[in-house]
Amino acid sequence: MKLLLIYFFVLGFICIRDLFKVKNFDDYVVAGRKQSSPFVFMSLMATVLGASATVGIAARAESIGFAAFWWLAVGAIGFWFQAAFLSKPVHDLDVRTLPEIAEKTVGKTGRKLVALIIAVSWIGIIAAQFAAVAGFIGLVLGHEAGTQSVLITAVIVIVYTLLGGQLSVVRTDALQFGILTLGFFAAAIYLFGGFSGAENAALQAAGNLAASSSTVNSAGLATFGSFNLLNEKFGTSDLAIMLFTIGGAYFLGPDVISRNLVAKDATSARKAVVAGSFAILAFSVIIVLLGMWAATYTPATAGSATNPLFRLASGVLPLPLAALLSVGLLSALLSSADTCLINSAAIFGSDILNTRRISVVRISVVVIGIIATYLALQGKDIIGLLTMAYSVYTPGIVAPLAVAIIAHKRFKVKKTLWYAGVIIGGLFGLIPAILASTAKIQSPAYLPLVGIAISLAFALASLRKK
């Protein structure tokens, strides 16, 4: 608990310092647009290593084994394509938000359409991040994730985002990335560095008496079974769907593109994305191995934490490493929540309300934060209903907007065809999500891929030479 207080105190110090550095809209929304490649890299990493990329991957590793590696691996592929095709043209457009890219390449209606989708759906994503952080804080405080944990989480994220804006987010991201790197890699080194008697003692303390000292010392990674990248629980079709849906968000997602917009130049943005592509591969391996270790030696039991990483932090690792991993997990969760919050507020103020007043964006931070808090308190079903709009983004927007960016200087866009591609492609993502959430009807998993193909075809057909 004391470590958490120190951690929050440091975050508070950073945001108060940045409060006095914010002089204009660019400072607040894109951190002055002057960040060097190392800061862009650390902020990018802290942004993508959120709840789904830490506790989510660990949980998937428990169910599908090493194939969970693909969750971040397809992100690395998305980053490679972003570096090759988008990093320079996006930065050269000199914009402040992703919807503004749509206006410069397609038109004002495109900006409003993209802004509306992101502004609505990202509230649900922020709520989901709040719920994930609250679950962790509840574990640390010794009670279930309830109202108190959600409110603590919301206040922390809203306050330091409100005060320092993107400047604080970039600075805290650098701190959080350093902490989460130390936490995850230190835990991996301890667990896989020889399987000494200390590990066996930790296992027994966690209640897993079946893992005897001799078994652990002699088995090591071999006890995990197959390390195949594909298996009966995760096959080629699953990988194809993940490559385009998840990988598409890494290729042209609002949060990853926002890191491009804070860079001082296109070269810094591109270098950060390339470095990030290799870094997330390393993190994917580490997180999957930690999840498989926990699943093998400390499987979930009645009264234990459900997530493998939480079990490692609460019963297996020695106190210093457990504390480090815990703060690392908290850093991963908070760093995604603050980025989503500042980006949503900036889009709401700049792209929907058509103002670049800092006061309006700050008010938007508070309002969006409060709505997200309310949704987090209501439970996962409501969050799921709201985040259905996220299903529109990859099949409906990624391909058309990428085509518009790449073709911007050489082609004009026939707007009716472009908008038709966005709407039809998005429906192929939204309708299955609605059916699954409301009527519990499972549609074919490949429908979002059909949506991507349709939106891409319409986008290409919309191009006219200048």
- Domain harbouring 92, CATH code: 1.20.1730.10
The answer to whether position 383 is within a domain reads no
Same domain, 312 and 406: no
Residues 360, 400, single domain; the answer is no
Note the pLDDT of residue 11: 84
The full DSSP string for 256-273 is HHHHHHTBSSHHHHHHHH
Look at 146 and 298; give whichever has higher pLDDT.
Answer: 298
How far is residue 51 from each of residues 129, 150, 173, measured CA to CA in Å? 7, 15, 15
C-alpha span between 112 and 100 (Å, rounded): 9
Q: Mark which of 358, 378, 398 sits at the end of a domain.
A: 378
Residue 321 lies in a domain: yes
3-state secondary structure (DSSP) of residue 234: strand
If asked whether residues 334 and 394 sit together in one domain, one would say: no
Query: 21 near 167, Cβ under 8 Å?
Result: yes
Specify the 3-state DSSP secondary structure of 90.
helix
- Of the candidates 432, 395, 66, 442, the one whose C-alpha atom is nearest the C-alpha of residue 234 is 66
pLDDT the model gives residue 208:
47
CB 76 within 8 A of CB 281: yes
Q: Which of 82, 92, 89 is nearest to 33 (CA)?
A: 92
Cα dihedral across residues 13, 17, 18, 22: positive or negative: positive
272 and 307 co-located in one domain: yes
Question: What mean pLDDT is predicted for residues 35-62?
Answer: 90
In a domain, 188, yes or no: yes
* Total Cβ atoms within 10 A of residue 319: 7
**What's residue 132's pLDDT?**
78
pLDDT digits (tens, 9 = 90+) for 102-123: 999 999 999 999 998 888 888 8
**427 inside domain:** yes
How high is the pLDDT of residue 146? 64
Residue 337 has pLDDT above 80, yes or no: yes
Mean pLDDT of 179-189: 92
Tokens at 429, concatenated: 């993502």
Residues 73 and 204 in one domain: yes
What's the pLDDT score for residue 219?
42
**Is residue 391 a contact partner of residue 432, using CB atoms and an 8 Å limit?**
yes
pTM of structure: 0.89
Confidence check: pLDDT of 231 > 90: no
Rounded mean pLDDT, 42-64 = 88
Which among 344, 378, 412 is the end of a domain? 378
Mean pLDDT of 149-166: 87
Whether residue 428 sits in one domain with residue 308: no
364 plus 426 within the same structural domain: no
Give one word for 379, left, alpha or beta, with left for phi > 0 and alpha for psi -120 to 50. left
Q: Which amino acid is located at 158 in the chain?
A: I
Q: Give a yes or no: residue 408 inside a domain.
A: yes
- The total of structural domains in the chain comes to 2
362 lies in which domain range?
2-378
For the chain, what is the mean pLDDT?
Answer: 85
Q: What is the per-residue pLDDT across 361-391, written as a single tens digit (0 to 9) for each?
A: 999 999 999 999 988 888 655 556 555 666 7
Comparing C-alpha atoms, which of 433, 375, 337 is closest to residue 54? Answer: 337
Last residue of a domain, one of 378, 409, 424: 378
Report the run of H or E that residue 131 belongs to, with start and end: helix 108-141
Same structural domain, 131 and 70: yes
Lowest mean pLDDT, pick from 195-209, 257-271, 319-333, 383-397: 195-209
Residues 407, 308, single domain; the answer is no
Does the residue 305 lie in any domain?
A: yes
- Residues 330 and 410 occupy one common structural domain: no
Both 346 and 444 in one domain: the answer is no
